[in-house]
Amino acid sequence: MQHTIFYDADCPLCQREMARTRAANRSGSLALLPVQGNEPLLKAHNISRDAALTLIHALHADGTVLRGMPALRLMYRECEGRRLHRIWNWPLLRPLADRFYPLLARHRYRLSRWLLPHATCASGTCHRPPRSKP
């Protein structure tokens, strides 16, 4: 049973989170696909490119489309060792996360600049430079 996560590949913060998710998804239950280049698949599931670039979207294995925090909860639930699923489901934090996520998503590029100051951009796509080993 595989779920599909659609993310903004032009967002450094999103790229970093997908890299961590990829590493934690040992079961292979998640397909992590960038929105960019997968518009036909999005359209086949009635997801517009603009909507997918506004909030993260997930396509559940049963065909259900999830967006925003429900999509993130599904993603984190499938990742071994990622405790975020449990945290975002705590009764007091769940409604706060549901309200906060759209704000985070709206400002993800600004947050990327603040949180990942060494990200470099070329041709409109941002990548973190490789870490040098001491």
The residue behind tokens 């040992």 is 26
Low-confidence winner among 11-15, 72-76, 115-119 (lowest mean pLDDT): 115-119
Distance CA 45, CA 38 (A): 11
Inside any domain, residue 134 = no
Number of domains forming the structure of the chain = 1
pLDDT one-digit tens code per residue, 36-57: 999 999 999 999 999 999 999 9
0.85 exceeded by the pTM? no
pLDDT bracket for residue 80 (50, 70, 90): confident
Inside any domain, residue 27 = yes
Inside any domain, residue 90 = yes
Distance CA 22, CA 3 (A): 13
Half-sphere exposure at residue 47, Cβ-oriented, CA atoms within 13 angstroms: 28
Inside any domain, residue 23 = yes
Domain residue limits at 101: 3-127
Residue 124: the pLDDT is 52
